[in-house]
Amino acid sequence: MAFSLLHGVHVPHRKNTRDMAAVRMDAPKTVVIPMSMHIGAPAKPVVKVGDTVKVGTLIAEAGGFVSAPIHASVSGKVTKITDYLLSNGTTVPAVVIESDGEMTPDETIAPPVVDSRDTLLEAIKRSGVVGLGGAGFPTHVKFSVDLGRIEYLVVNCAECEPYVTSDTRTMLDRVDDMKTALVAMKTHFGIRNIVVGIESNKKAAIKSMMGLMNEVVATGECTFTVKVLPSVYPQGGEKVLIYHTVGRVVPVGKLPIDVGCIAVNCTTLAAIGAYLKTGMPLVEKCVTVDGGCVKEPGNVIVPVGTAMSEVFEFCGGLTEAPDKVIYGGPMMGITVPDTSAPILKNTNAILALSKKETKLPKTTPCIRCGRCLNTCPFGLSPAAIARAYDKRDTVALDKLGVQACMECGCCSFVCPANRPLVQTNKLAKVLLKEEKAKEDAKA
Amino acid sequence: MNTQLKLSVSPHIHSGRSTRRIMLDVLIALLPATAAGAVIFGLRSLLVVAVTVAACVGFEALFSLIAKKPIPVGDLSAAVTGLLLALNLPANIPLWQCVVGSLFAIVVVKGLFGGLGANPVNPAITARVFMLVAFATLTKAAFPTIVDTASSATPLAAEKATSLTDLLLGLHGGAIGETCAAALLLGGVYLLVRRVITWHVPVAFIGTVFLTSFIMEGMDATAALAAILSGGLLIGAIFMATDYVTSPATPWGKIIFGLGASLITFLIRYFGSYPEGVSFAILFMNILTPYISSWTRRRIFGMGGSKA
């Protein structure tokens, strides 16, 4: 299959923690679990203040089809159900549990019985697993399609964001969980072609995935490819990865399944595998703790809902006051106002970045150097989009295809004038959506 | 540990390359040509450079002050314009003409159109063309001070006797920075290595001039080489036609730009009334740039077509 790779940028790797196996931290004193750690409707709490819960107890059920149930991550008592301000500006309830320090598992937890498509789908639904690459899309929804349409299962092992190594640890330490999930999907979903897309800078993980390939292929009836890709950001972007692994273009506004693909992150697979084996839903998460202000960077397994500050404390504390603290990697991560922010299901890293690491050049006028449009993986013209947005010219924005933007941030990363390019793209997408809604309302 | 943290939209890291650094790289790349000019044409060339650069920077500051805009001298773009303009002037030019040229470049071409990034045409090129039309001194190129002047003339204007070695070293008449091909090529390599420019414009521009000259000179490779080493071609193709603001950004756009500029250069050199056409060619292509850019826009992934 001959095609040229999409453009992108060479970001610094800074995978300082790749060789550090995940360490499980002690039970936190309290956890704050927001009811929205996924894309879709918030979950509905099913516990009330004063209830006793154990690790794995259901505390909230899915609030709709595109939603996911949530489980207690510590044993203890529900002390509060408060409002929690999400990073997207909306407020959802959050269940606060005071830990008894015992981490006693719920005794009703048992491996699910899986013997058909429906039982596997139900199990994935009950596991509370959402897209752990960062997007948090409920995984069971992806598979709620006519299974005959799935030609390829693309396993996203790219992990192209700087610093983050939690997926690398999954690939090294949780091969068996990944295998359990893949074999179950092969058997009950009829998956016939599995493709692992992984960046070339993860030598040990590539070896590990080759081993996984041999084990899965030995169970018969499917093809399995490990595709080693250049370490160019954003290799792990869903549409980028699908194009680079199976050569298919997901059209703007369409889903991978529209071209016969489903893409799943490797840690998502491992979480499903763990649930199938033990029945313990997604209540803890391996996160990479790094950044110039962290004393002892590493990978830590953290109960969902634990405050960032406790995790930093576990890593020896912070050596200096950070400039920014973010969820995820530095290219697409989200800043938090303070370190009381909890670890979410889809948190793969928390970074305390120093002023030096977050240093940006001064914002100056655009010199039309073309770096933004020559690095955009999707061939957009961010500088032209910014000019159209300044005039609120929705016709031009539509023509420039801003709705195709995946917000990877390459344009802003390379801009020598430090123009807010991807940031403007985001605003332009919203403006275009509002304009379309207005037109639809008129029609 | 709940101090005020900075909130911002991603990305949170940057490649580290700034406009100022790019401009600094261009200045560094022009140093060999400046030094060669000083050796070939004497120290007065340095005076021309100093006055022109100072005038450009000064006018930029003054204009920003009057227009009540922040003074952007720190981005070094006015210094680049000044140095480029100076290197395109003969060493014996009256200094007041340098100042008038700088005023035209910075205020008329750049400032009035909105400053850095907003000028439709290259300030240095346009100022040079303006001066060419306005002052007779520019058409009479200065001669090197370090060789016997009787044997030298602007090769394109007079005769074609200048040897290739002399062309490479710049030992012939012309503007301060345009004659020493070796120095210009060195600067070009530096810009390529630093990834300030790409190969597309220079290769398309110089390559096509070579080809057309080769054909016009009756398949004479030496004459074709002389054609690309003389006049303002190298400084134009490497330093002026690659100006970000006034040339297309896509690879194909750059190739079209280079081809177009070389074609006009060829037409002026062989059929026009001016001995040298590089400045006019680049200026003309500057004006076409918005069109070339919109013709060569990249295809958007996932919007029509099955390929990227």
| A196 and A320 part of one domain | yes
The reply to whether A61 falls in a domain is no
Q: Is residue A363 within 8 angstroms of chain B, CB to CB? A: no
Q: Could you say which of A252, A359, A426 has the minimum Cβ distance to residue B302? A: A252
Q: Are B12 and A417 within 8 A, CB to CB?
A: no
Per-residue confidence (pLDDT) for residue A1, from 0 to 100: 41
Task: With CA atoms as reference, report the closest residue to A408 among A366, A368, A380, A369.
Answer: A380
Q: Are A239 and B302 within 8 A, CB to CB?
A: yes
| A379 and A352 part of one domain | no
Chain A residues near residue B12 by CB distance under 8 angstroms: 324, 326, 330-331, 333, 335, 353, 357-358
Q: Are B19 and A361 within 8 A, CB to CB?
A: yes
Beta bridge partners of residue A80, listed in sequence order:
A96
- Give me the number of domains chain A comprises: 2
Query: Rg (Cα) of chain A, in Å, rounded?
Result: 22
Task: Give the chain A residue whose CA is nearest to the CA of B246.
Answer: A368
Per-residue confidence (pLDDT) for residue B273, from 0 to 100: 78
Find the CATH number of the domain harbouring A173. 3.40.50.11540
Per-residue confidence (pLDDT) for residue A347, from 0 to 100: 95
Q: Which amino acid is at B105?
A: A
Structure tokens at A272: 């499903």
Per-residue confidence (pLDDT) for residue A67, from 0 to 100: 95
A 48-77: CB under 8 A from B: none
The reply to whether A326 falls in a domain is yes
Please say if the pLDDT value at position B147 is more than 60.
no
Q: Could you say which of B8, B19, B297 has the minimum Cβ distance to residue A364? A: B19
Phi, psi of B72 (to 5 degrees): -95, 25
Angle, alpha carbons B276-B282-B284 (nearest 5°): 105
Chain B residues near residue A361 by CB distance under 8 angstroms: 14, 16-20
Segment B50-70 mean pLDDT: 94
Per-residue confidence (pLDDT) for residue A122, from 0 to 100: 96
| B69 alpha carbon, distance to own chain's centre | 27
Per-residue confidence (pLDDT) for residue A329, from 0 to 100: 95
DSSP code of residue A396:
H
What is residue B185's three-state secondary structure? helix
Query: Quick one: pLDDT band at residue B150, thresholds 50, 70, 90?
Result: very low
Task: With CA atoms as reference, report the closest residue to A381 among A391, A393, A394, A371.
Answer: A371
Q: What is the dihedral of CA B227, B230, B234, B237, to 10 degrees?
A: -60
CA A257 vs CA A38, A117, A147, B57: distances in Å:
20, 17, 10, 58
What does the pLDDT look like over B267-307, one tens digit per residue? 998 888 777 789 999 999 999 999 999 899 888 999 875 44
| A309 and A430 part of one domain | no
How far apart (Å, rounded) are the C-alpha atoms in residues B88 and B169?
17
Segment B253-274 mean pLDDT: 92
Q: Are A379 and B299 within 8 A, CB to CB?
A: yes
| A395 and A320 part of one domain | no
Pick the CATH number of B19-293 from 1.10.3120, 3.30.420, 1.10.1060, 1.10.3430: 1.10.3430
Cβ-proximal residues to B50 (8 Å cutoff; 6+ apart), any chain = none
How far apart (Å, rounded) are the C-alpha atoms in residues B239 and B201?
10
Please say if the pLDDT value at position B248 is more than 90.
yes
Within 10 angstroms of residue A178's Cβ, the number of other Cβ atoms is 28
Chain A residues near residue B299 by CB distance under 8 angstroms: 379
Range of the domain at A114: 1-25+105-359
Per-residue confidence (pLDDT) for residue A20, from 0 to 100: 93
- Please state, rounded to an integer, the average pLDDT across all residues of chain B: 89
The reply to whether A70 falls in a domain is no
Segment B199-219 mean pLDDT: 94
What is residue A342's three-state secondary structure? strand
Domain end among A331, A359, A387: A359
DSSP code of residue B118:
T
A 199-238: CB under 8 A from B: none
Beta bridge partners of residue A61, listed in sequence order:
A44
Per-residue confidence (pLDDT) for residue A87, from 0 to 100: 83
Chain B residues near residue A353 by CB distance under 8 angstroms: 12
Structure tokens at B196: 């300030």
Half-sphere exposure of A349 toward its Cβ, with a 13 Å CA cutoff?
36
Sign of torsion over alpha carbons B185, B186, B190, B193: positive
Q: Could you say which of A3, A374, A380 has the minimum Cβ distance to residue B300? A: A380
| A380 and A313 part of one domain | no
DSSP alpha helices (H): ranges in A70-129? 117-126
Chain A residues near residue B22 by CB distance under 8 angstroms: 367, 369, 416
Helix (H), strand (E) at residue A205 = helix A203-218
Per-residue confidence (pLDDT) for residue B141, from 0 to 100: 60
Task: With CA atoms as reference, report the closest residue to B1 among A89, A341, A123.
Answer: A341
Per-residue confidence (pLDDT) for residue B173, from 0 to 100: 85
Beta bridge partners of residue A249, listed in sequence order:
none
| A291 and A411 part of one domain | no
What is residue A402's three-state secondary structure? helix
Q: What is the pLDDT along chain A (443 residues), one digit of tens a residue?
A: 446 788 999 999 999 999 999 999 999 999 999 999 999 999 999 999 999 999 999 999 999 999 999 999 999 999 999 999 888 888 999 999 999 999 999 999 999 999 999 999 999 999 999 999 888 999 999 999 999 999 999 999 999 999 999 999 999 999 999 999 999 999 999 999 999 999 999 999 999 999 999 999 998 889 999 999 999 999 999 999 999 999 999 999 999 999 999 999 999 999 999 999 999 999 999 999 999 999 999 999 999 999 999 999 999 999 999 999 999 999 999 999 999 999 999 999 999 999 999 999 989 999 999 999 999 999 999 999 999 999 999 999 999 999 999 999 999 999 999 999 999 999 999 999 999 898 888 87
Task: Give the chain A residue whose CA is nearest to the CA of B254.
Answer: A370
How far apart (Å, rounded) are the C-alpha atoms in residues A360 and A357?
9
Within 10 angstroms of residue A292's Cβ, the number of other Cβ atoms is 19
What is residue B277's three-state secondary structure? coil
| A260 and A339 part of one domain | yes
Q: Are B302 and A321 within 8 A, CB to CB?
A: no
| A404 and A429 part of one domain | yes
Domain end among A359, A393, A420: A359
The reply to whether A194 falls in a domain is yes
Helix (H), strand (E) at residue A324 = strand A324-327
Per-residue confidence (pLDDT) for residue B149, from 0 to 100: 42
| A302 and A414 part of one domain | no
